[in-house]
Amino acid sequence: MSLPVGHYQYDRIDRDFLQARIAEFEGQVNRRLDGTLSEDEFKPLRLMNGLYLQLHAYMLRVAIPYGILDSRQLRKLGEIARRYDRDYGHFTTRQNIQFNWIRLEDTPAILRELAEVDMHAIQTSGNCIRNVTADEYAGAAADELVDPRVHAEILRQWSTLHPEFTFLPRKFKIAISGSPNDRVAARFHDIGILARPGEDGAPVFRIFVGGGLGRTPIIGEELFDSVREEHLLATLEAIVRVYNAHGRRDNIYKARIKILVQAIGVEAYREAVEAELAQMDLERYRLTPEAVAAIRSRFAVPLLEAPSDADAVLAEQRRADPIFDRWVRSNTHVHRDPGHIIATISLKPAGGIPGDATSAQIGRLADLADAYSFGEIRITHLQNVVLGHVRKDRLRDLWLGLAEVGLAEANIGLIGDIVACPGLDYCALANARSIPIAQKLGARFADTALQAEIGALRINISGCINACGHHHAGHIGLLGVDKRGEEFFQLTVGGRAENGAAIGMILGAALPEDETVDAIARLVDCYLGRREGGETFLDTLTRLGHEPFREAAYETV
Amino acid sequence: MKRPVRLEPGQKLVLTANRLLDGRTVWWGADGTWDLHIGRAALLDANDAEAALSRAVEQAQHDGVVGVYDAAVKAVTPPEPVTVREKIRAYGPTVHPEFAVETEQ
C-alpha cells in the first residue's frame, strides 16, 4: 500500500488500538441503553469519543489530525454524511468535522467505518490535549521554514491517551506552524509552537503559553524562544505537568492554563517548568533524529513535476478570463515549487452556511484532490479546504470542476469569508444564532467585485462567550448574547489572529439582531470613505482609532 | 440546580427532553408519552409542573429520554415557546427549512 501524501500512515498497532477502543465504547453504549449506566456516568465516556448531545440530536466530532486528510478519508466522511446524517458535514474552527444529526445507537458503526480509513473521534472533547492543529499550507508554502506536520504527528502520538493528561483541569489546545507568517493563531492557543531552522539546520521551536479566547481572551506569552528538537517533548511534558498540578479545578471558568499563567506570571511559570525539567528523566523524552526520521518515513513526499510553461499557461488563462483571475487572486497562495500553486476552496458561498458541505460536494472534493493534488486535502481553521499542490497549468481545470458543485467562490480573506460557529441553531451552549447573521452578511456583501474593493477584512461570529467562532480575533467580531430570550450581538473591531495578534475592542452596547447587519455595513462604509492609499480595514482602524467606527455603528437614521 | 421558570401572565409550562436513542427533542404529552411535536405537549401550571417534572425525571430511563426540564410557553394553540432557544428546539434549526419538525410525522 502506498503512503498517503500529507499525513502519517497508520500501522497495525494504531489500527488494533482503534478497534479495541470502539469495542470498549460499544459496550458503554449498550450499558447506557439498558440502563446500567446513568446519563451522568455515560456523558464523560461519550465525550471521550467525540459524541455530544446538542439541541436536536447527538453531534459527532471527528478528529482530523493537523487538518490533513487523504481522498479515501474524505470520501468516507461524505458517505457518513449521506448514510448517518442529513447529507452534510460541518467543518470547524479546529480543523475537524462535525455531524449534527447522529443517533447514539449508530455511533459504534460510524466509528468502525471511520476506523476503516484510519480515523476516529478521540481528542475532540473532554479535558485532554485536543487534536493538534497546524498550518493549512504546511509542506507547500513558499514562505515556510520548517514543515510542521512531522512534529504535529509526534505531538499526536505523544498526547493520545497520555496517562497523566487524560483528566486535565480543562481542555488543552496546541497549534504548530513552521512559517514566519502565523496561520495557526499560535498566540491564541494553550500552547502555540512556531518552528524554524536552528543554526545546525535542525529545527528549533519558539513556544508560547497561556493564550486563548473564550470568556477571558488572552494573548499567549513567549515561554521559550529556541527549544531544541531533542527537548521538544520533555518541554511540552513539563509545561502540561505544571498546568495539571496547579491549574484550578474549583471553577470551570478559571481552569484554563491562561488563567494560571496570568495568576503567577510567565516568569514564575517558566521557573516551574524549568524545575520540572530538572527533575525529569530527559533521556526518556529525548526526541532523537532517528525517531523523527521514523515518523517522517511514514509520510509520502509528493513528486512535484510541472511543465516548464506551467506558469505561462496560467498567466494566459488569467488574462483571458477575468472571473478566473479574480478567484486566483483571492484563493491561491504561493507554492515552494514554481510550477505549483496552493488553492484554497471557499466553503462560504454567498448566503450559505460557513463550513458546511454536502455529501456530494465532499465526494467531489475527494475526486478533485485525486485529480489535482496527490489525493491530499487540508481543512483550515477558517473553515475552508485547501488543495496544497496544484500544477499551475491545471489550476483552471480544477476551478471549473469546483464551479460544477458550487465551490468556486472567490472570497478567501475577504468579507464574505466569514467564520461562524454552529450557534443556537444546533449548539446546547449557545445564546444566539451565528449562522443566520453570517448568511445575511454573506448575502449583503455577495458581489465579488465589492469584496475585492473592500479588501482584507475578516468577520468572525460566535453564538456565545465560549468563542468557537473566534470573534475576539476577527477584524470585525460578533458575539451573540441573550437578552431576556432575544438575540443581540456585541460588536468588536481590531482583533487579529495572525502576526501581531490582538483582541478586538468592544464598540458599545449589543445591538438587536435585526440591526446588526446594517451596523456592520456602516462600519464598512466608514472604512471605505476614510481609507487612504492602499489601506486595509485594520490599517484605517489603526490610523483613525475606534471612535469613527463606533459612531458609524451606532448612528441612528 | 436549575432555577424555577418565572411565568408571565398567559404562559404555562411544558416538559421537554431529548430522546436517548437519537437525541431528538421531545415534549411530554397529555397522554403521558413523549412526542416530537410541541403541538401535542401538555400545558401545565407551575404547581402541576413540579410534580410532573419529578415523575418524568424518575421515569426518564424507562421512557428513553435524557435531560428532562420544564420550559415556558405562551398558552396558545399550538403552544409557542417563549425563548428563541426553545423555539429552535421545537421547530428545528432555522437555517434548514427542510428539517422543520412540523413536516415530520
Is pLDDT above 60 for A132? yes
Query: If you compute the radius of gyration of chain B from its CA atoms, what whole number of angstroms results?
Result: 13
* Class of A310-404 in CATH: alpha beta
A486 interaction partners in chain B (CB closer than 8 Å): 84
Asked if domains A133-296 and A419-553 share a fold, the reply is yes
Nearest to B21 by CA among B62, B64, B67, B58: B64
d(CA A269, CA A155): 21
**Domain map of chain A by residue range?**
12-116, 133-296, 310-404, 419-553
Contact A425 B67 (CB under 8 A): no
Name which of A377, A398, A395 is nearest A4 in CA terms.
A377
Q: How far apart are CA B19 and CA A109, in angstroms?
A: 19
Which residue out of B18, B26, B82 would a mutagenesis test of the A interface target, given it has the greatest number of A Cβ atoms within 10 Å? B18
User: Residues near A389 by Cβ (< 8 Å), separated by ≥ 6?
Assistant: A5, A140, A302, A304, A335, A337, A340, A342, A373, A374, A376
Contacts of A485 in chain B (CB under 8 A): 82-85
Q: What is the pLDDT of residues A432-486, one digit of tens each?
A: 999 999 999 999 999 999 999 999 999 999 999 999 999 999 999 999 999 987 8
Across the interface, whether the CB atoms of B21 and A105 are under 8 A apart is answered: yes
Q: What's the whole-number average pLDDT of chain A?
A: 96
Does residue B3 carry a pLDDT above 60? Answer: no
Residues A201/A222, Cβ–Cβ less than 8 Å: no
Structural contact between residues A158 and A108, judged by C-beta atoms closer than 8 angstroms: no
Residue A53 has pLDDT above 60, yes or no: yes
Kindly tell me if the per-residue pLDDT of A29 is higher than 50: yes
Write the CA distances from A111 to A115, A121, A338, integer angstroms. Answer: 6, 8, 41
pLDDT tens-digit readout, A166-206? 999 999 999 999 999 999 999 999 999 999 999 998 999 99
**Predicted confidence (pLDDT) at residue B4 exceeds the cutoff of 70:** no
Angstrom distances, CA of residue A403 to CA of A114, A182, A349, A419, A520: 29, 30, 11, 21, 29
Choosing among B2, B7, B20, B21, which should be mutated to test the A contact, i.e. which has the most A CBs within 10 A?
A: B20
Give the pLDDT band (50/70/90) at residue B59: very high
H or E element at residue A132: none
Q: Does B46 touch chain A (CB under 8 A)?
A: no
> From the CA of A467, how many Å to the nearest CA of chain B?
18
Please give the pLDDT value at position B2: 57
Q: Does A489 touch chain B (CB under 8 A)?
A: no
Share of chain A above pLDDT 90, in %: 97
Contact B3, B33 (CB under 8 A): no
Interface test with A, best of B25, B26, B61, B95 (most A CBs within 10 A): B95
The β-bridge relationship of strands A174-177 and A133-134 is parallel
Is A58's CB within 8 Å of B82's CB? no
Quickly count: other Cβ atoms within 10 Å of residue B74's Cβ: 14
Cβ–Cβ pairs < 8 A, chains A and B:
68
Per-residue pLDDT tens over the stretch B67-99 = 999 999 999 999 999 999 999 999 999 999 889
Phi and psi at residue A349, to the nearest 5°: -65, 150
**CA nearest neighbour of A131 among A107, A155, A165, A163:** A155
Give the C-alpha separation, A100 to A90, whole Å: 8
Average pLDDT over residues A61-71: 97
Closest in B66, B89, B95 to A439, CB measured: B95
Residue A306: partners with Cβ closer than 8 Å, 6 or more residues away: A337, A338, A339, A340, A391, A392, A393
From CA A115, how far away is CA A422, in angstroms rounded?
26
Residue A78 has pLDDT above 70, yes or no: yes
Contact between chains at A485 and B67 (C-beta distance less than 8 A) = no
In angstroms and rounded to an integer, the radius of gyration of the C-alpha atoms of chain A is: 23
List chain B residues with CB under 8 Å of A351: none
Per the CB < 8 A criterion, the answer to whether B73 and B79 are in contact is yes
Closest Cα of chain B to A102: distance in Å?
7
Q: Which of B20, B61, B83 sits opposite A104 (nearest CB)?
A: B20
A133-296: CATH number: 3.30.413.10
First vs last Cα of chain B: how many Å apart?
Answer: 35
The number of residues in chain B equals 105
Among A39, A103, A424, beta carbon nearest to B88:
A424
B24: which chain A residues are within 8 Å (Cβ-Cβ)?
Answer: 56-57
Q: Read off the pLDDT band of B5 (50, 70, 90).
A: confident
Cβ-Cβ contacts under 8 Å for A514 (sequence gap 6 or more): none
pLDDT of residue B100: 87
Q: At what angle do helices A322-331 and A310-320 cross, to 10 degrees?
A: 120
Asked whether residue A52 carries a pLDDT value surpassing 90, the answer given is yes
Which pLDDT band, with edges at 50, 70 and 90, does B6 fall under?
Answer: confident
Question: How confident is the model at residue A186, as a pLDDT?
Answer: 97
Asked if A58 reaches chain B (Cβ–Cβ under 8 Å), the answer is yes
With bands split at pLDDT 50, 70 and 90, how would you rate the model's confidence at B1?
Answer: very low
Identity of the residue in B18, B82, B89 whose CB atom sits nearest the CB atom of A53? B18
What CATH number does the domain located at A12-116 have?
Answer: 3.90.480.20
Give domain A419-553's CATH architecture.
Answer: 2-Layer Sandwich (3.30)
Contact flag A103-B23 (C-beta cutoff 8 Å): yes
Task: Using a CB–CB cutoff of 8 Å, tell me whether A90 touches chain B.
Answer: no
Q: Residue A265 burial (CB < 10 Å; 0-12/13-18/19+)?
A: exposed
Contact list, A53 vs chain B (CB under 8 Å): 18, 23, 66-67
The answer to whether A4 and A300 are in contact (CB under 8 A) is yes
Q: Do B83 and A86 touch (CB under 8 A)?
A: no
Q: Residue A57: which of B22, B61, B83 has the nearest Cβ?
A: B22
Nearest by CB: B94 against A35, A433, A486: A433
Q: Kindly list the residues from chain A whose CB atom is less than 8 angstroms away from the CB atom of residue B22.
A: 57-58, 103-105
pLDDT digits (tens, 9 = 90+) for A203-224: 999 999 999 999 999 999 999 9
Please tell me which residue of chain B has the smallest CA distance to A438. Answer: B95
User: Per-residue pLDDT for A515 more than 60?
Assistant: yes
- Within 4-33 of B, beta carbons closer than 8 Å to A belong to 18, 20-25
Residue A486 has which C-alpha cell?
Answer: 432575544
Smallest CA–CA distance, residue B21 to chain A, in Å, is 5
Residues of A in contact with B73 (CB under 8 A): none
